[in-house]
Structure 1
Amino acid sequence: MTPMDMLLTRASCDHLADPAPSETQLAEILATAMRAPDHGKLRPWRYVIIQGEARPVMAERIIASMKRLDAEAPEFKIEKRRKRFSTMPLILALGMHLRPDHKIPLWEQEMAVAAATMNVLNALHATGFGGVWVSGDVVEDPVLAEEIGFPAPHRLAGFLFIGTPQGDLPTPKRPDPAEFTATWTGKPVTFAADRT
């Protein structure tokens, strides 16, 4: 697979089983995050590895967070999250170590975390693993963030579920890049993707 083939075939995958990356493999995969664009060299990305017996414990923290945020959270949604967080081979909590008073705006710090996460997803695919980035309402819960290790002003950016894809990788139809691209000639551009 060429590097371009690798990038063009990557897709999120949540049908995952063991094995997850080994400690050595995960260290190499996370090294790719350190190559993300990072204005000011703030390195705002933080990663918490959740595996083994810590997974059902995290699942219960997720459920508690859901109930804090919505006392009437549907039982099917609670059980779905409990199962996923308890059984995924490896979970990576994505932290944003934010510095609100720094000259680098918060949005740039958050984008650096997102860019680093995309590098991790690409590296997972390049090494034969799969992953999916999940978020949801719980990433807005400061109590959960603090329980994981991200007290305010730091935050959660979500979780990566990581493992070995089961079956064929999904091959979602991707839109034509031309629909999202325009050439500026001195006047505001429009995009085909925005035309209804």
Structure 2
Amino acid sequence: MQALDALLNRVSVPRLLDPAPTAAQREVLFAAAMRAPDHGHLQPWRFLTVEGAAREQLGEILAEAARLQDADVPQAQVDKARNGPLRAPLVVVVVARLQDHVKVPKSEQLLAAGCAAHGILLAAYAQGIGAVWRTGELVYSAHVAQGLGLAEGEEVIAFLYLGTPQNEPRVAGKVDLAEFVSAWSPEA
């Protein structure tokens, strides 16, 4: 697959089935992530893979986080949180590792980690792997961070769900670029 094909045609694939990406495919996914723009060569990211029964354990952490956030949370929301990680055979938790640096602000490090996550999505598309980036307010919960064993300065920025597409992926819609691109003029 050509690089431009992945860049121009990648779409989210929310309905995922077994099998999960193979070891060889995963190596490509994470190698692509390592090519993210990285001012200062800080590599301000790391990844946790969650599969098999560990997905159920992650679901319990998310359900607990939902209850901690709101003692009156409807049971349906707790169940949704619990079942979320079961939507794909592999969940990659993208963790931003933010550090103090004289030349690289934390905001730039966070963006670099997001680019690493995007690299995984592009590499998944290029290999025919279905993938979708999901977050939601529970991703940012201190309880979830603790349950995942995050260190100080680390934060979850994405849950990437990966697997075999249940259906043929949709075709990427065309966008009117003029709505997003304009020439800057200092007189404006």
| TM tier, smaller | over 0.9
**Aligned position for 2:33:** 33
Q: Does 1:182 align with 2:185?
A: no
Q: TM-score, normalised by structure 1?
A: 0.89
**Aligned position for 2:60:** 60
- Three-state SS of the structure 2 residue aligned to 1:85 is helix
Calculate percent identity across the aligned residue pairs.
Answer: 35
**Aligned position for 1:110:** 110
Question: For residues 105-160 of structure 1, what are the alpha-carbon distances to aligned partners after superposition, in whole Å with 9 as ceiling and x for unaligned?
Answer: 11000000011111110000000101111111112212311221213321110211
Q: Which amino acid aligns with 1:43?
A: Q
Q: Using the TM superposition, name which of 167-176 and 153-162 deviates more.
A: 167-176
- Three-state SS of the structure 2 residue aligned to 1:128 is coil
Shift of 1:3: 2.7
Contact 2:48 2:94 in 1 (8 A): yes
Q: Which amino acid aligns with 2:28?
A: E
Shift of 1:80: 2.2
Shift of 1:87: 4.4
**Aligned position for 2:9:** 9
Q: Which amino acid aligns with 2:7?
A: L
Q: 1:69 to 1:96 in 2, by over 3 A?
A: same
Q: Which amino acid aligns with 1:102?
A: H
Q: TM-score, normalised by structure 2?
A: 0.92
Q: Distance in 2 between matches of 1:176 and 1:74?
A: 41
Contact 2:29 2:123 in 1 (8 A): yes
> Any residues of structure 2 matched to 1:78-97 within 5 Å, and which?
78-97=78-97
Contact 2:117 2:158 in 1 (8 A): no
- Three-state SS of the structure 1 residue aligned to 2:59 is helix
Q: Distance in 1 between matches of 2:8 and 2:168?
A: 15
What is the CA RMSD across the aligned residues, in angstroms?
Answer: 1.5
Q: Distance in 2 between matches of 1:173 and 1:74?
A: 36
Q: Using the TM superposition, name which of 105-114 and 20-29 deviates more.
A: 20-29
Q: Which runs of 5+ in 2 are unaligned?
A: none
**Aligned position for 2:153:** 153
Moved over 6 A (4+): none
Question: For residues 28-59 of structure 1, what are the alpha-carbon distances to aligned partners after superposition, in whole Å with 9 as ceiling and x for unaligned?
Answer: 21100111001111101110000011111110
**Aligned position for 1:18:** 18
- Three-state SS of the structure 2 residue aligned to 1:132 is strand
- Three-state SS of the structure 1 residue aligned to 2:118 is helix
